[in-house]
Structure 1
Amino acid sequence: MVKLKRLKSFLSLWLLGFWLIVFLGFGIFPAAKATTNSSTTLIPTLDWQQAKLPDWSQITFESLPPISSSGSFQAPEEVISQLDYDPSRQWIAGQTPDQFLKLGDFQSSFKLQNFDLSKIAQIVGLDLNNITLERVGIMNFQNL
């Protein structure tokens, strides 16, 4: 059981590394200027000890530069069975990462499976006992 968990963690990290290499290493994302005061900034940065670092508080998958070329990835069956999901996909030039990444890509790196609604509410300081459905915007457009 421990060996299977290690293998799943390794495969998830490998897949995350694969995507980072694809996006950044092969230049699929267009070059981004690393300045905070320029109107052409694609990725916001912070100055820290004379270095420019990404400002993660302002970065979302949607705000990242679009991918510059189309492509696809087909996972082997043994990888699919070990991950318990199929990481295969296609992407089209111009899509942002929020349009082609899958939640399963982050199952080990972010440990999303460890969070439920109550844990998320606690982290963001939300009291679920004081939330009604009418406060959930999309609920106003639903009916029985």
Structure 2
Amino acid sequence: MMVQYGSRLITWSIDEDSKEEQAHLCYTNNIGYSTFCSYPPEMVKEMPKKVLVKEIQRLQVALGEQSKMAMLSQQQCERLKNERILCRICFERDICIVLLPCRHHVLCEPCSDKCQSCPICRVPIESKSSVNDAVNSDDPLSDIV
């Protein structure tokens, strides 16, 4: 069993006769956890089982922590998607105007009427496009502006 980046290590039986289970748990370019990568397979095969089991347990704990962090990050991303996105000038109304040519989507209609240049990049506003339903829509294509 060769474990690669992105795979889960749930159960692992130590079988001394199996060449597949030689504890080669390496990421490409040595990014992330490297376990016994610098040792030849013969040396790893002769290591005490306790050492191998301890290393597998350490990796399982690390994988569990990474999974928790990924889940929290995904939950935060979902929360931010569902929050109302308010105007960057008044912070009272939902954004509903795309400024052209820069395409920044940061203003409500009343504030966009008062601005001569984009508040983000300071490019002069040539025109404006209304996108009222894009912010609150459940349509997955509504994010495309």
TM-score using structure 2 length: 0.23
TM-score using structure 1 length: 0.23
- Greater relative contact order (CA < 8 Å, ≥ 6 in sequence): 1
Task: Say which one has the larger Rg.
Answer: 2
Give 1 or 2: higher helix fraction: 1
Give 1 or 2: higher strand fraction: 1
